[in-house]
Amino acid sequence: MNPSLQRAVTSFYNLIYEAQTFATAMARIDTAEQEHYAGRIEGLNWVLDRCQELEDMDANLTPSSLQRVLGEVKSDLEHELSVQRREKGRRADGREEALNFVADYLSSLITATGIESAKTAV
């Protein structure tokens, strides 16, 4: 895999981890919004669990196999978002917010992986 793409995947995973760390710290500080931050933490933990194989990814992973893994994560994420949209309440709002945050970055990473995969195919 291209070193730039590998750095992007690592940065994606680290971004989620840092967002989870931030939400944890904010839940301790802003007790009035503790439930909301608990929802964010829950949503980000779900993503971290789902992306575990990205953290342990092999540098020899091909862009097309990475694109497949990311596509599966995105599909699961979209399903989880649809579940969250049906739920109402502060906890669900925080979780949905966290999942939406991750979805934007995941879409960008999938696009970059597709571009890299097309270059490799040529």
**pLDDT tens for each residue of 38-86:** 888 988 998 888 887 776 666 667 888 888 888 988 999 898 888 877 7
Angle between helices 3-29 and 34-50 (to 10 degrees): 150
CATH number of the domain that 24 lies in? 1.20.120
pTM: 0.78
Q: Say if CB 70 and CB 61 are below 8 A apart.
A: no
Q: What are the pLDDT digits (tens) for 85-96?
A: 777 655 557 888
Q: Show the domain range for 80.
A: 3-121
Looking at the structure of the chain, the number of domains it has is 1
